Each structure stands twice: as structure tokens, then as C-alpha cells.
Amino acid sequence: MSETIRAARPGDETGLTALIHELAAFEQAEHECTVTESQLRQALFGADPVVYGLVAEVDGQLAGGALWFRNFSTWDGVAGVYLEDLFVRPQFRRRGLARRLLATLARECVDRGYSRLTWAVLDWNVNAIALYDGVGGVPQNEWITYRVSGPRLAELAAESSSGPG
């Protein structure tokens, strides 16, 4: 049995888009997931990539993947990696693929002099939490994640062109 972790390459957007939709279903948020192959292709392989990907293959089949982007620590003064999504298809779990994807991202950080690898996990995903605890991840309990999107994002953006400034 052949298992490989490699960087995403053109053509992988089809499988990675399917993985993203499978992850959304797993997280019970299918209705929120609207990404298309075209969008992901542009994000990964366009002139100005905004996301990077890894794929896990088992005997040539797409078994899982990770999508990440660089962030910046103003305190450390160097870049880091934010892992947006990590997903291994159910039939390929318990093989160490998720851990190998994380290790590959850790290697990326170390090789490039990045100071951290960061991610979030849903509080009910006990299997993922166990993995993350097992690789030395430390929950950042003192931080609360915020998001503004949709109509509220548009409303906030509209404030930039009105009033004193």
C-alpha cells in the first residue's frame, strides 16, 4: 500500500473541492459551503495564490488534504502558517495521514523560519482534538474568534466611505 503526502498541483482542485464539501457536510454546514473548482483553482494556482494545499494519497486515491495560508506575527516579526482545513476521508482515517499532513506543515514552518502553526477546531470534534493534543498543540483558550461576513460585512465596509475620516 502506497501512501504519499505532497504539495497540491494543478488538477488537484477537483478532488480538493470535493474534500471541502465533504468537510462541510461532516461539520453539518453543507448549506454554507459554496466553493467551486474554478474558485479553488484560482486561489491555489492563479497569478497571486492566496492559499496553499497538501494532498494525502493512498494507492493513488485522494485520501485527504490540508489547505493553509501564511499569516504574520507582529510580536515575533515573522510569518507563520494558518491551517484553514484539514480533512481525511473516513475510509482512510486511523492511518496517521492527518498527523503526517500536520508534520509536513510543521516542516514547512521550520524550513522557512516561520514561528508558528495555528488552526482552529470545533469543540465537539473530539477525535481531532485528541490528535491536536497528541502533536503538542496548545489550545488558545484566552482568545475568542470573531467573524463578520455577508450583509454585516457589507454594512461595515459602507462605513469606510462615510463620516469623519
Task: Classify residue 63: in a domain, yes or no.
Answer: yes
Specify the 3-state DSSP secondary structure of 132.
helix
pLDDT of residue 1: 86
pLDDT 10s digits, 34-76: 999 999 999 999 999 999 999 999 999 999 999 999 999 999 9
Confidence category of residue 164, pLDDT binned at 50, 70, 90: low
Task: Classify residue 150: in a domain, yes or no.
Answer: no
Task: Classify residue 57: in a domain, yes or no.
Answer: yes
Which CATH number goes with the domain that contains 60? 3.40.630.30
pLDDT of residue 161: 83
- Determine the residue type at 113: G
Task: Classify residue 149: in a domain, yes or no.
Answer: no
Task: Classify residue 145: in a domain, yes or no.
Answer: no
Task: Classify residue 160: in a domain, yes or no.
Answer: no
**How many domains does one find in the chain?**
1
Nearest to 17 by CA among 40, 43, 33: 40
Task: Classify residue 24: in a domain, yes or no.
Answer: yes
Confidence category of residue 24, pLDDT binned at 50, 70, 90: very high
pLDDT 10s digits, 93-102: 999 999 999 9
- In whole angstroms, what separates CA 62 from the centre of its chain? 16
pLDDT of residue 88: 98
Task: Classify residue 80: in a domain, yes or no.
Answer: yes
Residue 88 forms beta bridges with which residues?
64
pLDDT of residue 153: 96
3-state secondary structure 95-109: CCHHHHHHHHHHHHH
pTM for this structure?
Answer: 0.92
Whole domain around residue 22: which residue ranges? Answer: 3-140
CB 81 within 8 A of CB 116: yes
Q: Rounded to an integer, what distance in angstroms lies between the CA atom of residue 110 and that of residue 100?
A: 15
Whether residue 162 is predicted with pLDDT greater than 80 in this model: the reply is no
CB 19 within 8 A of CB 64: yes
